[in-house]
Amino acid sequence: MPTTRRQFIHDVALGTTAFGMGLPLLPKTKDRLGVALVGLGYYSRDLLAPALQLTKSCYLAGIVTGNSQKADEWMKKYKIPAKNVYNYQNFDELAKNPDIDVVYVVLPNHLHREYTERAARAGKHVWCEKPMAPTAADCEAMIKVCKDNKVSLSIGYRMQHEPNTQELIRFGRQKTYGKVKMLTASAGFVAGDSISQAWRGKQSMGGGALFDMGVYSLNAARYAIGEEPVAVSAQKFTTRPAVFKEVDETTLFTLEFPGGAVAQCSTSLGINMNTLHVTAEKGWYRLEPFQSYNGIMGSTSDGKLLNIKTENQQALQMDNDSKAIMAGKAPLVPGEEGWKDIKVVEAIFKSVALEGKRISI
């Protein structure tokens, strides 16, 4: 990546070069990173693999799957050579494969930690899907293993790469409408009853509304307000007890921020909702939808339209993360960002267990 001398000196000063972060610089000859997708379920199949056909700074170089029929289909469809196809047993042999620079963990949530750590120990940079992991201790361990192995770790919070969302974040940082006072964030969809049989319906696999969709509301509250919450009170509700036996169907949580702002957040696997509305001292601004794969749009109290088009969110995210790795810079959404959310998620669960008691974070 071309880096001017002045930019390099600036980056060293900020500690954001490969040198500063302790990351190895890639050989100068690489202008695109090879990505291996781990777990070829819905998100890999329908969103990430198609997006990797549009990316300019990375490409789909390999796959990890436990299903040999799927492996054959993907090899044909995406022209992936057999030497870049792994299963969960021989995964660690990735260490010897120079075609793979990044491992993208797209597995059920309870497996994020294991495969992030194995990838890091194999010397590969890691992109890990949200939510980062079931516990804050898991997240902390993942960050440490990536640091110890000098690889970059990024969490798949695609909204932080999305330009309308970035505009909303700027309004907060620059106090365009004054200080943020309140916000509401709602993220949910109606899951079919079959969820009870899938990993999203199982507590031991990191299922439930809060882990699946609630982290969008929570992450939005944190990026829109730009502070870390200091307390939370939360409640959960279930309208289909036979389906949601182990995990939450709907969770409502109120976050208190140190500057006085309050966020009313909701998440559900029984209600379609997708709104972020920020109330500030001198006006309001909102995005609806705020977390869909496309068509993010919104408006402001003074009549501005937020409607910047993005061709493909996942391609934008993966290109941004690839460029950061090639430049030896910290990713836009590092592991710490996932960890901060999971610390709050743990406090939310604690409050729910205590029937809405206010929990300090």
Contacts with ligand NAD in 142-161 (CB under 6 A)? 156, 158
The single residue among 11, 101, 129, 248 that binds ligand NAD, judged by CB under 6 A, is 129
Rule CB under 6 A: say whether 41 interacts with ligand NAD. yes
Residue 279, H or E segment = strand 270-280
Token pair of 277, please? Answer: 């509305």
Using Cβ positions, the residue closest to ligand NAD within the complex turns out to be 41
To the nearest 10 degrees (0 to 180), the angle between helices 136-148 and 335-353 is 160
Please, what is the minimum distance in Å from the beta carbon of residue 28 to ligand NAD? 32
Binding mask 88-107 for ligand NAD (x = CB under 6 A): ------------------xx
Closer CB to ligand NAD, 21 or 139, in the complex: 139
Residue 305 phi, psi dihedral angles, 5° rounding = -105, 135
Please, what is the minimum distance in Å from the beta carbon of residue 262 to ligand NAD? 27
Does residue 325 contact residue 102 with C-beta atoms inside 8 Å? Answer: yes
Please, what is the minimum distance in Å from the beta carbon of residue 46 to ligand NAD? 8
Smallest Cα–Cα separation from 293: which of 265, 316, 326, 270? 316
CB atoms within 10 A of CB 301: 13
Closer CB to ligand NAD, 7 or 294, in the complex: 294
Pairwise CA distance, residues 265 & 251, whole Å? 8
Beta partners for residue 237, in sequence order: 250
Smallest Cα–Cα separation from 133: which of 122, 144, 148, 123? 144
Q: Any idea what DSSP says for residue 176?
A: B
Q: Which residue has the tokens 């709602």?
A: 186
Binding mask 205-234 for ligand NAD (x = CB under 6 A): -------x----------------------
Please, what is the minimum distance in Å from the beta carbon of residue 285 to ligand NAD? 23
Identify the three-state secondary structure at position 321. Answer: helix
Rule CB under 6 A: say whether 202 interacts with ligand NAD. no
The single residue among 125, 130, 236, 286 that binds ligand NAD, judged by CB under 6 A, is 130
Using the contact rule CB under 6 A, the part of the chain among 16-24, 41-49, 234-242, 268-276 near ligand NAD is 41-49
Rule CB under 6 A: say whether 109 interacts with ligand NAD. yes
Q: Residues interacting with ligand NAD, by CB under 6 A?
A: 39-44, 66, 106-109, 111, 129-130, 156, 158, 199, 212
